[in-house]
Structure 1
Amino acid sequence: MVSKIIVACCLLAVAGCQSTTVAENATQLTVEFDWQGISACSSVSPEIRIANVPAETRFVDIQMVDLDFRTFNHGGGTIAYSGHGIIEKGALPTYAGPCPPGGITHRYEFTVHALNEDKTLILGHGKSSATFPPVR
């Protein structure tokens, strides 16, 4: 009985180690966003527009990085892709918005991966960056 439990646990562990690979024909996504209507330190992600998305895309994984302070995790999330090229404002579940110290601008970059149905294959990828607060 104990050996069956150990085997079952090992199988579950291996199944949980699912990896994501990049498709040989992965496309270059066009990614655009701006900070319009986004307050400093907000948990509401901006609208993100993506183009050149493969038809097989079922999910998008979006992460934001502060290019000037890489150790802070701004998160993002993996969400279902509707096919219309717009990720709605506030759609990212684990997003922490830009929050540079007062009077300083930082550069932020969104990375987008287009994923297949079981999230194991990157069908396309792209990036876009902008400063916050926006330079006028």
Structure 2
Amino acid sequence: MNHNATKSICLAAAISLGLAGTAAAFSISFSWGNLKKCTSGNPNRVANPTFKLRSVPDGTAKIRFKMKDLNVPSYNHGGGTVKYSGGSTIAPGAFKYKSPCPPSGSHNYEWSATALDSKGKKLGQAKARKRYP
């Protein structure tokens, strides 16, 4: 076997091993859905948005969701914790939180989802951001 062939085989093996050891990262996305428009600065208690989950860590028993207004991070919009037994969607109504309701213009909001095992140990975290309205 010539030198170039050996280098090609070694490179292919290294790439293969590297890809095999890489697990997809836990991620979420969400949609505001039919959220009633609110721009008064006085949020409503509403059902959570639809969350799409990807690559939820093995052993996840519950997922804790929390929303943050990135323009006013000190304001507590709350969130909720849901039991998780598989699947890729958390439907509206799993918990209630204080809706986005910027007093003027639009704000940027971030949902974080923390995957927890049955004893409460953190297994992973994912975040997703959207502007509202």
- Equivalent residue letter for 1:64: M
Matched, 1:62 2:65: yes
- In structure 1, the partner of 2:16 is none
- In structure 1, the partner of 2:101 is 99
> Which secondary structure state, in structure 1, belongs to the residue aligned with residue 128 of structure 2?
strand
What's the CA shift string for 1:75-94, capped at 9, x where partnerless?
Answer: 1011111311211112124x
What is the TM-score with the length of structure 1 in the denominator?
0.71
Equivalence map 1:97-136=2 (5 Å): 97-102=99-104, 104-119=105-120, 121-133=121-133
By how many angstroms is 1:96 displaced? 0.7
- In structure 2, the partner of 1:15 is none
Matched, 1:36 2:33: yes
What's the CA shift string for 1:26-53, capped at 9, x where partnerless?
Answer: 9731110021211233422111111100
- In structure 1, the partner of 2:9 is none
Contact 1:27–1:123 (8 Å) recurs in 2: no
- In structure 1, the partner of 2:6 is none
Unaligned runs of 5+ in 2: 1-22
How many corresponding residue pairs? 105
Unaligned runs of 5+ in 1: 1-25
Contact 1:27–1:125 (8 Å) recurs in 2: no
What is the TM-score with the length of structure 2 in the denominator?
0.72
- What percent of counterpart residues are identical? 34
Cα distance in 1 between the residues matched to 2:25 and 2:99:
25
Runs of 4+ in 1 over 2 A off after TM superposition: none
Equivalent residue for 1:47, pick from 40, 45, 50: 50
Cα distance in 1 between the residues matched to 2:25 and 2:122:
11
With 26-35 and 72-81 compared, the bigger mean Cα shift is at 26-35
Cα distance in 2 between the residues matched to 1:65 and 1:28:
21
